[in-house]
Structure 1
Amino acid sequence: MPDNFWEDVISTAVEAGDKILEIYEGDFDVDWKDDFSPLTQADRSSHDYITNKLKKITPHIPVFSEESDNISWDIRKKWEEYWLVDPLDGTKEFIRKNGEFTVNIALIKNSKPFFGVVVIPVQKVIYWAHKDCGSYKRNYGAKDKKLPLENKKVDLDNLRILGSRSHRTTTIEVFSSYFNEPEIVSAGSSLKFCLLAEGKADVYPRFGPTSEWDTAAGQCVLECAGGYVLDKTGSPLKYNMQDSVINSHFIALRKYDKRLFKYFKEFEN
């Protein structure tokens, strides 16, 4: 691999974000998939750009994108290493024009995120992580800052709980009722993992469905910053383990806290 291999992938995510913004700043049509999730030209444009670039950068590594989810399990189950891509995470946020959408690229090795990049095009911010060198935040054109930026202890009396901007459910409200007036922080897409990695929130319990491309890059950023993304057994989320690309319910933690995991497990059961 060339020395600038990871920077090439980061640049690919940024450039895909630029293409998304060209569409975001104008008028666009919205189509609907079979599962009733929205699809725009921005999703397709970003998908085409990223997959073509990754195939040039690493022609030996297969690419699995949300917009190429017709790759069969018989093929995927043989992969020990592959790119997992969400070309536009937070399409609902894109349509609402609130800026809380991201471009996600993750390299999966042996079912675990090894490298991840999350780009927020509107904010011109990059989060990236590599299992061998940690987790970082960077503004476009600026230097990396090592994550977490804030590393204080978890305080259950001043807990900051993350909820989805577009998928807020009563389950978050019930989970929050276990604690003394916690702060509920709403955020879209994989931004939630990045806020945890920075230290701006404490916990993100997810009881609704997510797909593997929704979580992989953000999980890498959080784990490399010292955080955790755990299923109800206490195991980290893994990838490409079954035909379905739907994740189990999970809890993402800025720091491991057995009390938070206990509440999550009780709630999940």
Structure 2
Amino acid sequence: MTTASPRRSDVALAEALVPTVLAAGAAVMEIYRRDFAVETKGDASPVTEADKLAEAIILADLARLAPEIPVVAEESCAAGVIPDVADAFFLVDPVDGTREFIQRNGDFTVNVALVRGGVPVVGLVLAPARSRLFLGVVGEGAAMLTIEDGRVIGRVAIEAVQAADGSPRIIASRSHRTPETDAFIAGHPGASIVAAGSSLKFCLMAAGEADLYPRLGPTMQWDTAAGDAVLRAAGGMVTDMDGRPLSYGPNGAAGTAAYANPWFLARGADKA
């Protein structure tokens, strides 16, 4: 009897999770289309019933598909449920871009990632209001899937591209621009700016629509892991500001701060 390679197992897991994120996305869109209440969490960030419902759907499916792998999920962590993790674990952000969700501008996503050895190796990022699902398995490539009526009707491979000399397309947050980000942009005269919200920024880079994404401000690992995996699978990379690949897993801090990211820079394909 042969054992499946990690990459083959990762591909199978990614495909098995497609219905999961589509179901979570459908629940999110049902709430998006009607009135909903907005609460404020202890860290002053907003949360809605969409975050909670989508997370419940994802957690139930992960418990069925991979019960041996612990799950670090944003809303569970906010409620104090932070599991111990080992080499492999899931990171879940049921609605990344809650501010975009509240503003109803469409730039919000449903995110599931598998981390192994500190590296995000599988990522699914669903943009339900845009009917797009981005899927990446590191070492196997990335794809953009078109969704209609809750099912996949198209799939195309995507690949990050090299930045043009002197005129990179810099993608910047709609809701979280900082003075440091503005200074980074000013250091690239001739650059064009692509505005987007949530983990869609990683996916636009993976699809070759932007070259650099500086995040010089606070983020959490569940915000970035799925998009990071898609970008890496497409040939890009995310590093800290010292050039080291962004690493995932508890950092030794207490509570949710254990999953805080440093500032980072996402890049498209490196020059050969």
- TM > 0.5 between the two? yes
- 2:10 and 2:122 in contact (8 A); partners too: no
- 1:156 and 1:179 in contact (8 A); partners too: no
Query: Which residue of 204, 211, 223 maps to 1:214?
Result: 223
Instruction: Give structure 1 regions of 4+ aligned residues with deviation exceeding 4 angstroms.
Output: 1-4
Aligned length: 253
Cα deviation per residue 1:142-196 (whole Å; 9 max; x = unaligned)? 3321111x63x42243221111111112222211112223211110000000011
Q: How does 1:156-171 map to 2 (within 5 A)?
A: 156-171=165-180
CA distance in 2, matches of 1:175, 1:207: 9
Task: Report the Cα offset of residue 239 of structure 1.
Answer: 0.9
CA distance in 1, matches of 2:238, 2:165: 19
Query: Which residue of 229, 250, 254 maps to 2:268?
Result: 254
2:95 is matched with: 88
| Residue 53 to residue 159, structure 1, CA distance change in 2 (3 Å) | same
1:264 is matched with: none
SS at 1:210's partner residue? coil
Structure 1 length-normalised TM:
0.89
Q: Which amino acid aligns with 1:256?
A: D
CA distance in 2, matches of 1:81, 1:87: 19
Q: How does 1:23-34 map to 2 (within 5 A)?
A: 23-34=31-42
1:79 is matched with: 86
Superposed CA RMSD: 1.9
- 2:125 and 2:227 in contact (8 A); partners too: yes
Task: Report the Cα offset of residue 8 of structure 1.
Answer: 2.0
Q: Which runs of 5+ in 2 are unaligned?
A: 1-8
Correspondence 1:48 to 2:36: no
CA distance in 1, matches of 2:203, 2:41: 28
Correspondence 1:14 to 2:22: yes
Cα deviation per residue 1:193-251 (whole Å; 9 max; x = unaligned)? 00111110110011100000000000000011110100122111111141321100000
Q: How does 1:1-269 map to 2 (within 5 A)?
A: 5-69=13-77, 70-72=80-82, 75-76=83-84, 78-140=85-147, 141-148=152-159, 151=161, 153-242=162-251, 243=253, 244-256=258-270
Q: Which amino acid aligns with 2:268?
A: R
CA distance in 2, matches of 1:229, 1:3: 21
Q: Which runs of 5+ in 1 are unaligned?
A: 259-269
CA distance in 2, matches of 1:238, 1:89: 19
